[in-house]
Amino acid sequence: MRSGRITLVVVAALIVIVVAGGGVYLATHHGAKKMAATPTPVVATNSVSIQNYMFSPAEITVKVGTSVTWTNHDSVGHTITGDNVDELSSTIIEHGKTYTHTFNKVGSYTYHCSPHPYMKGTVIVTQ
């Protein structure tokens, strides 16, 4: 009777250890999974800088209805020109000037600079 009670206590203790161990494993596993879920950071901003003949960030993600503003910090003028769609078509943005466009449709908008076509950027518009 007495040894049976001790066995019960030992078994109960083992269950606690196993459950606690499993919890630690799950927490570690969950943490690792969470880290892996964000390999490339999604830049959520509505401001893009134009500097050194580059758009920065080159790729942004915004919610539909967001107004995105580009600011030119270069001494030369640049444009925001859509690659395939007429969605984006700024005139020359001079030094220190801005261009703002509101995105009202979900989609991926790639653009470039008309005088410098190697300057490329993307605006991803989500619901």
Q: Which of 62, 68, 113, 125 binds Cu ion (CB under 5 A)?
A: 113
Q: CB under 5 A: which stretch of 27-35, 56-64, 85-93, 116-124 binds Cu ion?
A: 116-124
Which residues inside 3-42 make contact with Cu ion, applying CB under 5 A?
A: none
Residue found under tokens 């466009």:
101
112 binding Cu ion? (CB under 5 A): no
Q: Which of 46, 56, 83, 116 binds Cu ion (CB under 5 A)?
A: 116
String of contacts with Cu ion for each residue 60-89, x by CB under 5 A: ------------------x-----------
Work out whether strand 47-51 and strand 107-112 pair parallel, antiparallel, or are unpaired. Answer: unpaired
SS3 content of the chain, % helix, strand, coil (to 5): 30, 35, 40
| Backbone Cα Rg of the chain | 27
* DSSP strands (E only) in 16-86: 47-51, 54-56, 59-63, 67-72, 81-82
Q: CB under 5 A: which stretch of 8-16, 17-25, 32-40, 107-115 binds Cu ion?
A: 107-115
What is the binding site for Cu ion (CB under 5 A)? Answer: 78, 113, 115-116
